[in-house]
Structure 1
């Protein structure tokens, strides 16, 4: 973590519609014995319950979901354009089958609290889980969305996260 400095959540200058939807992020969860990162292009950052917050969604078949479920903390990492191929790699492989973070040319590091994060990121949000729920087909008000995005009925689990620390590359 020596190449990062901590800032306040209100000091983040990213456009998260672009950062998440177009540039993507890595969701990293686990501990020093076992961790994994997955590429995500859906999510939000804002304010919830009086706290700086992020919302991420993870499908049931993702290996990272097992780690998110069993740990209170996780990180969201954002990268410069030079890392696009690494994010593509992490989004097309399973951490069950290989050390995809290492094979993508990335390095797992840990915050002072022991939360896994990716050393090459330009911005890291260290987060604590506050709430989770599964998306359900019957809850969609626009029923076309469920059919388009969930033909296999493998609905995401949604996690509302408190952003507890923010790190930027020095």
Structure 2
């Protein structure tokens, strides 16, 4: 197990346009006994409702969505390029019928009862604030629906308050 320490959020030096979209992250939810993690590349960070937040998008079909929907907390974790294969694995496999953690070569850990991969370098521990279903009627640009949702496997946008940033 690695040692993680709180990291002041105002000291973060990340590019918001590449951190998720190019480097990717793992969103993890559940508890110490059972959790699941999946790769995300859509979302961001910012300020909403007077809080520092992350927002991520998860499709209806994803197993991790069940964990986020049924819990109050989730984590958003960033790993070094050394774990690119693990990130690819977690983005392509469900975890419903297998131990996704071990298959990806990752170790679940918890901080304040919130699960995250021990191999991460930076972890945002988040309290779920909102779950907003993305619906076909929401799009003013109809091409988005055709390009990204031809199978109608829609996303839910989750907004989470960053309650702690931890780094090793």
Say which SS state the counterpart of residue 10 (structure 1) adopts: helix
Unaligned runs of 5+ in 2: none
Unaligned runs of 5+ in 1: none
1:99 pairs with 2:114: no
In the other structure, the counterpart of 1:130 is 129
In the other structure, the counterpart of 2:167 is 168
Q: What displacement does 1:133 show?
A: 1.2
Residues in 1 aligned to 2:10 and 2:70: alpha-carbon distance in whole angstroms:
29
State the superposition RMSD in angstroms: 1.0
Residues in 1 aligned to 2:152 and 2:105: alpha-carbon distance in whole angstroms:
33
Say which SS state the counterpart of residue 54 (structure 1) adopts: strand
The runs of 4+ residues in structure 1 deviating greater than 4 Å are none
Q: How many pairs align?
A: 168
TM-score normalized by the length of structure 2: 0.97
Contact 2:2 2:118 in 1 (8 A): no
Q: What displacement does 1:47 show?
A: 0.8
Contact 2:80 2:121 in 1 (8 A): yes
Q: What displacement does 1:103 show?
A: 1.2
Say which SS state the counterpart of residue 20 (structure 1) adopts: coil
Residues in 1 aligned to 2:48 and 2:78: alpha-carbon distance in whole angstroms:
21
Residues in 2 aligned to 1:56 and 1:116: alpha-carbon distance in whole angstroms:
17
Residues in 1 aligned to 2:33 and 2:108: alpha-carbon distance in whole angstroms:
11
Residues in 1 aligned to 2:95 and 2:62: alpha-carbon distance in whole angstroms:
9
TM-score normalized by the length of structure 1: 0.95
Residues in 1 aligned to 2:35 and 2:109: alpha-carbon distance in whole angstroms:
10
